[in-house]
Homo-oligomer: A and B are copies of this chain.
Amino acid sequence: MAGKSGRPRQPVPTAKAASGSEEKLGDLPNYVGYMLRRAQLTVFQDFIQSLADFDLRPAQFSVLSVIEASPGLRQTEVANLLGIQRTNFVTLFDSLEGRGLAERKPSKEDRRSHSLYLTDAGRAYLRDVKASVDAHETRIAQQVGQDDYITLKRILGKLLVIC
């Protein structure tokens, strides 16, 4: 598993990119963390390009998706679901509310908290966005192949349980 001893290893040419630069990286590509980071950056880059017309960042998309699926959740609840600190969530949601895509409504039960909803405009906007996101997703599925696409998501799900 990524090598044990301190002696110099001959980097085994794994089934990886043939960009011609792997030999210089040493055993870095054998670490899951490194590969996860590089893969995530690549996928996010494609995601952002796919949504260039919409000017929507991945985090913003995730917020819209959650409050579409679960309207009425409190602000901190949405933040926690997405692993965003509630303090940083404020300006993030401000940007969506400022664009008229989502809105805060006072909660009836607890007057401290805000319930979050999509606006009608936000719902229509998200419908268009999702068409592009699904195209992006299809591109990735084709990149790795349908079987590995399913397998990848299954294994990634196992990794979240750590935290």
- Proximity bits, A135-163, B CB within 8 Å = 1, else 0: 01110110111001101111111111111
Q: Residue A90 at the B interface, CB < 8 A?
A: no
Residues of chain A in range 14-50 having any CB-CB distance to chain B below 8 Å: 14-17, 19, 21, 24-47
Contact among B4, B8, B25, B37 for A134, CB-based, below 8 A:
B4
Check A156 against B58 for contact (C-beta < 8 Å): no
Check A152 against B152 for contact (C-beta < 8 Å): yes
Docked Cα-Cα span, A95 to B160, in Å, equals 32
Which residue of B has the minimal Cβ distance to A160?
A: B17
Check A24 against B70 for contact (C-beta < 8 Å): yes
Residues in B with CB closer than 8 Å to A73 are: 24
Q: Residue A99 at the B interface, CB < 8 A?
A: no
Q: Using C-beta atoms within 8 Å of the partner chain, give the interface range for chain A.
A: 35 or more
Check A32 against B149 for contact (C-beta < 8 Å): yes
Docked Cα-Cα span, A53 to B24, in Å, equals 28
Check B66 against A25 for contact (C-beta < 8 Å): yes
Check A42 against B140 for contact (C-beta < 8 Å): no
Docked Cα-Cα span, A81 to B32, in Å, equals 17
Docked Cα-Cα span, A62 to B34, in Å, equals 8
Contact among B21, B45, B153, B163 for A35, CB-based, below 8 A:
B153
Docked Cα-Cα span, A58 to B138, in Å, equals 30
Check B25 against A69 for contact (C-beta < 8 Å): yes
